Amino acid sequence: MGLCVLKFGGTSVASPDLILAAARRIIDTRAAFSRAVVVVSAMGHTTDQLLELADAVNPHPSRRETDMLLATGEQVSIALLAMALQSLGAPAISLTGQQVAIRTTSSFTRARIRSIDTTGIMAELDRGRIAVVAGFQGVTDDGQITTLGRGGSDTTAVALAAALAADVCEIFTDVDGVYTADPRLVPDARKLDRISYDEMLELAVLGAGVMHSRAVQFGQRYNVPIHVRHSRKSDAGTLITRESPEMENASVVGCALKENLGRVSLRDLPNRPGVDAAIFNALAEADINVDDIIQNEASGGGMNISFTVEHRDLADIKPAMERVLTGFGRGEMSIDVGLSRVSVVGLGMRHHTGVAAKMFTALAEAGINILNITTSEIKISCIINRSDGERALKSVHSAFDLADGQPAAIDTITPMRSVRA
């Protein structure tokens, strides 16, 4: 007996008609697999609207209350989707993250899944029901409601697919699959039939919002095939899978742009063992990812460190770094905003030479200044000014001949506004 986990993103359940269309798709898919677990995001732009509401009553809401608020979005869509399934004659039950027992860390707004208890879901499947699970949310050991970070429903879906040993995790979204670049920014981007977990993980971390990066990590760790496809088309999308030998043929498989980055610079720090550890432990404790770390000696014997972070993390970083500087008894902090990162990714980079030179030449020809460079075995990233972002992405995409000459098929659905609380 097969088991499929299906995930529907916000645009795919943005109105009653779309919810009914998703329900029909679920019923068809279940006919092929016999058992289905569905993960659903909040309708349309609900999560953004809830954040606007929070901002209207408190510009700096606590992260606990933010999660309490945001989790309501997915609770609406699971109930409506279960009702839609029932109206079409399919037995279905909606379950919140708490009811499923998706246990997470207590890092509100960016919690990580620690464990999932599949007993309840299995019992529902054994009763012949479709389990409709709220994406993006979980619960701590002491009963606090958490969320997994924006776009986190993908992670709920793939983690559930791993825990249930599902045959496949189908991610239904508003594009035909994973493209060589965001098709909204690069209209002639090409859809990929397959991509390796490693490449997808790099692209997701580097800004390809089509998949939440931790979902790809779960998929890779537990070997869950992930199929990203259009929610209202039957064509095959993109399979995220284990690497195969021919995947190394292309030096670059895709490129990505990450906007809204800021740089934190710490100057005149003491130059002694333990300084980096103190800084990065404080960031790790706050569950904040940093990148593009630059360290050098300051004139006068001190040390300078700078690193890049997302704007949304700055509110937590500032007090954490102020505490660290107080502990050192010296040092100054400054923060720059308005940066972006453009990146190219490909397994073939391990063997092809000249990839960096080609990327830097493309940026130079477009008159774009590179502020910092980071590389790994399969990616090259350049920090640039935010105003250069889209032009940089298009230049790099065309330098590596990633286009297919056809405009990409993308949706522009106007979500229902009346879900505003």
Q: What is the contact surface with Mg ion in residues (CB under 5 A)?
A: 9, 151
Ranges within 134-153 binding ligand ADP (CB under 6 A): 151
Q: Which does 135 bind (CB under 5 to 8 A by kind): ligand ASP, Mg ion, ligand ADP, none?
A: ligand ASP
Q: CA 122, CA 370: separation in Å to the nearest integer?
A: 52
CB 394 to ligand ASP: min, Å? 26
151 binds ligand ASP (CB under 6 A): yes
Pick the stretch among 88-96, 121-129, 182-190, 239-247 that binds ligand ADP (CB under 6 A).
182-190
Q: Which does 11 bind (CB under 5 to 8 A by kind): ligand ASP, Mg ion, ligand ADP, none?
A: ligand ADP
| Single-letter code of the amino acid located at 145 | I
Q: CA 381, CA 339: separation in Å to the nearest integer?
A: 13
Binding mask 34-63 for ligand ASP (x = CB under 6 A): -------xx----x----------------
Query: For the purposes of burial, counting CB atoms within 10 Å of the CB of 116, is it exposed (0-12), middle (13-18) or buried (19 or more)?
Result: buried
Q: How far is CA 349 from the centre of its chain?
A: 24
Query: Which is closer to Mg ion, CB of 9 or CB of 177?
Result: 9
- Read off the DSSP letter of residue 223: T
Q: Which does 73 bind (CB under 5 to 8 A by kind): Mg ion, ligand ASP, ligand ADP, none?
A: ligand ASP
Structure tokens at 4: 């499929």
Q: CA 373, CA 90: separation in Å to the nearest integer?
A: 53
Query: For the purposes of burial, counting CB atoms within 10 Å of the CB of 64, is it exposed (0-12), middle (13-18) or buried (19 or more)?
Result: middle
In sign, the C-alpha dihedral spanning 27, 28, 34, 36 is: negative
CB atoms within 10 A of CB 361: 13
Structure tokens at 322: 């102020």
Binding mask 251-270 for ligand ADP (x = CB under 6 A): ---x----------------
Q: What share of the chain is helix, strand, coil (3-state, %, to 5)?
A: 40, 25, 35
Q: How far is CA 290 from the centre of its chain?
A: 16
Q: Give the CB-nearest residue to ligand ADP.
A: 9
In angstroms, the first-to-last Cα distance of the chain is 41
155 binds ligand ADP (CB under 6 A): no
Task: Check if the beta carbon of residue 104 is closer than 8 Å to that of residue 148.
Answer: yes
CB 39 to ligand ADP: min, Å? 11
Pick the stretch among 18-26, 84-92, 105-113, 167-175 that binds ligand ADP (CB under 6 A).
167-175
Q: Which does 47 bind (CB under 5 to 8 A by kind): ligand ASP, ligand ADP, Mg ion, none?
A: ligand ASP
Ranges within 110-149 binding ligand ASP (CB under 6 A): 135-136
Query: Which is closer to ligand ASP, CB of 211 or CB of 317?
Result: 211
Would you tell me which residues interact with ligand ADP (CB under 6 A)? 9-12, 41, 151, 173-175, 178-179, 181-184, 208-210, 254, 410
Would you tell me which residues interact with ligand ASP (CB under 6 A)? 9-10, 41-42, 47, 73, 135-136, 150-153
